[in-house]
Amino acid sequence: MSKQTNIHNCIGKGRLIKECECCGQVFRTNREAKRFCNDDCRIEFKNRTLTENRPIRPKTKEEQLLIKQLVAMLEPYRRTGRISRYGNR
């Protein structure tokens, strides 16, 4: 999907026809600044761009060591299936 928004005047109605930047659906609006066909697309686009553009913070040596220790400590439970994503069953 291109960054440029397609704008066409709708003859006789004074409204604009635009393409949604999230889903690509064509919609009518009175506002030139409107970029999305509905609130769901606006929220989805915002969430998607926030997660895609978020830089991953490099872990410190202490954090890496702690993660390795936790993984090693939990490995026997993961093999037996006695630990789930939500804690012990």
pLDDT, one tens digit per residue, over 7-55 is: 554 444 558 899 999 999 999 988 889 999 999 999 999 988 887 777 7
List the strands of the sheet with 26-29, edge to edge: 7-10, 15-19, 26-29
Is 0.85 topped by the overall pTM? no
Q: What is the pLDDT of residues 68-88, one digit of tens each?
A: 898 888 888 777 766 555 555
Rounded CA-CA distance 68/81 in Å is 20
E strand intervals along the chain: 7-10, 15-19, 26-29, 83-84, 87-88
